[in-house]
Amino acid sequence: MKKLITSIFLLAITSNFAQEQAQDTVSQNEEKMEWFKDAKLGIFIHWGLYAVNGIDESWSFFNGYISHKDYLKQTKGFTAKKYDPAAWVDLIKKSGAKYSVITSKHHDGFALWDTKFGDFNAVKGASSKKDVLTPFVSELRKNNLKVGIYYSLPDWSYNDYTHFIRDSIRYKIADEPKRWDKFLKYYQGQLKELSDTYNPDLYWFDGDWEHSSEEWQAPKVRQMLLDRNPNTILNSRLNDQGDYATPEQGMPITRPENKFWELCLTMNDSWGYQKNDHNYKTEDQIIGIFADVISNGGNLLLDIGPKGDGSIPDEQVAILEGLGRWTNKHKEAIYDTRSGIPKEHFYGPTTLSKDQTILYLFVKGNPGGEVVLRGLKNNINRIWVVGEGTKLSHQVLGKVYWSHYPGIKYIKLPEHVLDENMTVIAVLLDGKVDLYREDGAVIESN
């Protein structure tokens, strides 16, 4: 009996301890994710051999649009002659991004840095003849931007990797475990190298779908990277080992369940530079998507695809500059904010200051004189146009003295304060945001 009591007691202590430990990990995780949550905008860069012909990154040979041999000929055109990392970072900074994620190695296996593992890289295997990753990372650091490294787990050009092209698998792991071990050493060695050289703030894995977590040794890889830098962040594509979700191309319609997420998005329809792809989203569309993303508590990772000579296509520069004008003007409504209020209260994107006392309303186009806020219980202390300063007046209608139904607030918005892309209105509340979420409207039974 005594034994039983002791073991129950011990069990209680341990489970308490386990709970506390779990809480610790949760709060440590929140802390580590703070900069990411505040950053809102990152610039994704797909730069590699594929930019030379302007074809699909890696997939073009995997899917058989070009032979692997011909794909590799692009190494000649990958000159990086006009590559100006300082100008790249300047543009990224101007766009309002707080971090950047660059393809250190895509599925084709071509590395942008001087890796010790093989010759298929920008130093030894292409006309560029130089490490093009290091100067970019240095510029990011110099400018206080966070460093994200994209790394493809699959390496379709590596002779000891399983997959090669869609219809041709080199071997099965079960048949040649030693060969797979060789690949594991190779890719994990490269990751160590990246970690030692750049100490990235974020790793952006890709291609995990080709193998299981066990086969990639994903938990071990996570541990290895965290041992080196406990604050580093991993995206969700290392099987089950990620810190945040990465919806791709599709703006989530409902708010994602994961607290931390990032929408990666192309400006046109391609990740890498494709001369033939002119299907660019407009500035308005990108800003609209961005507002939706931050309204739902996510980040936008907007992609650019530099050419083989290192220059950034004009259309992409123009979009980043336009975006920069808008983010700079509206910075108080963007950075360090949290997701906004449910759509029933305001038919558009919203964000909230971290202390929940300022509500930012994002208004597209010309609403024709006023915008409508429904079911806000707070009194409003002041309203102004973000980045412009005009104070706005409002009217409360539908509020009656015998009910706590808060009525509808109409904010007068004159045409002359409208932003050319999207206007933002700041609503300073008399306390933390408080929303009327009850069933009834004005008529209540008691």
Residues that bind ligand GLC (CB under 6 A): 46, 57, 59, 206, 248, 264, 271
Q: Cα(390)–Cα(202) distance, rounded to whole angstroms?
A: 39
Distant-in-sequence, close-in-space partners of 250: CB < 8 Å, separation ≥ 6: 263
Measured in degrees and rounded to the nearest 5, phi and psi for residue 242 equal -90, 165
Q: Taking the complex as a whole, how short is the minimal distance between the CB of residue 166 and ligand GLC, in angstroms?
A: 13
Q: Which helix (H) or strand (E) holds 184?
A: helix 177-198
Q: Which of 256, 367 has the CB closer to ligand GLC?
A: 256
Tell me how far, at minimum, the Cβ of 117 lies from ligand GLC, in Å: 21
- Dihedral sign (CA 166, 172, 176, 180): positive
The CB-of-372 to ligand GLC minimum distance in angstroms stands at 37
Task: Compute φ and ψ for 334, nearest 5 degrees.
Answer: -105, -65
Q: Which residues of 168-198 are buried (b: 16+ CB within 10 A; e: fewer)?
A: eeeeeeeeeeebbeebbebbbebbebbbebb
Distance CA 375, CA 382 (A): 17
- Return the half-sphere exposure (C-beta side, CA atoms, 13 A cut-off) of residue 286: 27
φ, ψ (nearest 5 deg) of residue 15: -70, -35
Distance CA 19, CA 9 (A): 15
CA distance 260 to 35: 11
- Give me the sign of the Cα torsion angle 291, 296, 298, 303: negative
Reported in sequence order, the residue ranges of 269-400 that DSSP labels E, i.e. its strands, are 299-304, 338-339, 350-352, 358-364, 369-374, 380-385, 394-397
Question: Is residue 197 helix, strand or coil?
Answer: helix
Least CB distance from residue 188 to ligand GLC, whole Å?
A: 20
Nearest to 322 by CA among 67, 128, 75, 95: 95
Tell the smallest beta-carbon distance from residue 57 to ligand GLC (Å).
5
Cβ-based nearer residue to ligand GLC, 181 or 248? 248
Q: Of 271 and 273, which has the nearer Cβ to ligand GLC?
A: 271
Minimal distance, residue 271 CB to ligand GLC, in Å: 5
Q: Least separation, in Å, of the C-beta of 289 and ligand GLC?
A: 15
Our CB check for ligand GLC shows the closer of 207 and 407 to be 207
For ligand GLC, the closer of residues 268 and 351 by Cβ is: 268
Identity of residue 341 = I
Residue 245 beta carbon to ligand GLC: minimum distance, rounded to whole angstroms: 12
Task: Using the minimum distance from each CB to ligand GLC, give the nearer residue, 59 or 180.
Answer: 59
Residue nearest to ligand GLC (CB): 264
Q: Name the minimum Å distance from CB 97 to ligand GLC.
A: 16
* Number of residues in the chain: 446
- Minimum CB distance to ligand GLC smaller for 64 or for 342: 64
Residue 20 identity (one-letter amino acid):
E
Rank residues 103 and 351 by Cβ distance to ligand GLC and give the closer one: 103
**CA atoms of 412 and 37, how far apart (whole Å):** 32
Shortest Cβ distance from residue 44 to ligand GLC (Å)? 7
Q: Which is nearer to ligand GLC, 155 or 206 (CB)?
A: 206
